[in-house]
A and B are shown apart, each in its own frame.
Chain A
Amino acid sequence: MAKEMFLAGCSSAAYGAMLSRVEVISSYPIRPYTGIMMELSKLVANGELDAEFVHGEGEHAQVSIAYGASAAGARAYTGSSGVGVTYAMECYSPAAGGRLPCQMAIADRALDPPGDFGSEHTDVMSARDQGWIMGWAADPQEVLDNTIMYFKIGEDARVLLPQFCCQDGYFVSHIPGKVSIPDQKAVDEYLPPFNNPHPLDPTKPVSHGPQIFPDQGPAIDLQRAQAFIDTPKVIEEAVADFNKQFGRNYDPFLEEYMTDDAEFVFFLQGGHARTARFAVNHLREKGVKAGMVRLRFMRPFPTEAVAESLSKFKAVGTIETSTSYGGAMKGGNLIHEVRSALYDVPNPPPVTSFMAGLGGEVVSLEEFYSMAKVLTQAAKDGKVDQYVYWVNFDKV
């Protein structure tokens, strides 16, 4: 029987990893994700989880340990935050190219300078093109559920890709919520043991990560790209099975809130969705037809689902929570993906972006109301005046 606990996102991730029966865990302390490892070290030490727990000498070593464990056939789990995520950058492509479906829990955090502890998505968004599956949870329940689902998706023989299982630092990682903890037996039915098709095995030696010649590179790149093309179908199946097995109601790619008759929507990822829902409710009370669309997977980016959803509205505002300095739109990253997804849609809605939720700042209700004014005008005019608004600095 499932039981209910009151858990913050860090503990929830640890329980998700335990229920997934992870076999090798590699840790290194950095706030805020480190709470996951403190919880897991206790679960291992108390015999509740039969796993090897290794403390690396840095994040680079941490991800290398997870790589090695996964190559040897174990279900491997690691994690980090902020500069820890970027310090391990060298290891991400080898894990993805090696098709090793280890999982890295991310409780995001602003990058230096000057040493900010707050939530911001830029850390792991910087690694979005390394070949890892990636998406944000919006609350502790979804953190636990995604942890289990991501292993199911990543370990599928059609996929074999590592996963960044992300949650907002502090807003999700450290704010407790009610979490339904599924029964171990039900999780075992959903998630079979990891079966690495090419494990390192002394009785049947194989070679991982050998040096190759330049002409062999593109073929391997194409295989990795093809895996991402095949992954959305696997996500749909894995989410549908999860919903059935555990009585949840996740859409595979997008959470839509009050979108049926919405004129404009806020488009975002992660925990700020909780404030966005309140903002939409309040705006509706004032007669403003606002809605929210929350992205559940950044990679693979669900291009078709996004195009289908967002083409229904008269204006779209992405809430960036990450930076893309000097990028095509000179603001964040989401707008690039969204505008690309809408490019071939006839009469696409105008899209603008809001730089908000950076450096650990809460995206407040007032900020949502200000953004709503911009989007109301854009819906009326059928165009946007600018592509980037720095909330609280620009004319917003």
Chain B
Amino acid sequence: MNRRENLKVLFASSLGAGLLLNACQPGEKEQDAKGMGTLGGRTEEEKLRDAQLLKEQFFTEEEQKKIRTLVDFLLPADENSPSATEVGVPEFIEFMMKDQPNLQTPMRGGLQWLDFESDELFGTTFNTLNSSQVKEIIDLVAWPDKASAAYSGAVRWFNLLRNLTCSGYFSTEAGWKYMGYMGNQPNVWDGVPASVLAKYGLSNPEKYAAIYLKPEDRAKVATWDEEGNLIG
């Protein structure tokens, strides 16, 4: 093997950096099946970071209990769809606290405020409240346009919690089903369905009718004349 081949072997391999990094981090365990890092095309740095974040615990047990109560209050089960806890929203929020550490203080602060407010209103902690008491507290902060100015900080926190809960819910298989999302699969786009166009009184621009992709042509290799007209 000459010098060039040596270098080629060393550098053409995309495994090189991976092996080196792995060697620097002995004892890293494979992620367990439940809490997996992102799949597909990961760098070694990404794999290590995901594994590390999945091992760490941010929320205390009390905080976890509050989160479970709150996310199911936000997105409960109904006849067609599961609740937020059933689709793993609390685990998603736990992960996001570590993935985006700037969320930690606002989230922890909001959860702490729940106990202050529970004590003010009911003389106890949030996790011991019954559901009508929980509703009373949440109603103070869940309606941004109506909430008293004194609660503006807690309203902001609840908006954050609502957004995270929705992210965690609608990014699941059940969430897609509820939303009616039909994509993320191979298909042939042939425009907006005719029934939908008719409903809105819209139509595809007539000018391009002759040139729009025809599904039946998708296997034919394109050829042009010298003027750039598609002829085959």
- Do the two shown chains form a genuine complex with each other? no
B residues apposed to A, CB below 8 Å:
none
A residues apposed to B, CB below 8 Å:
none
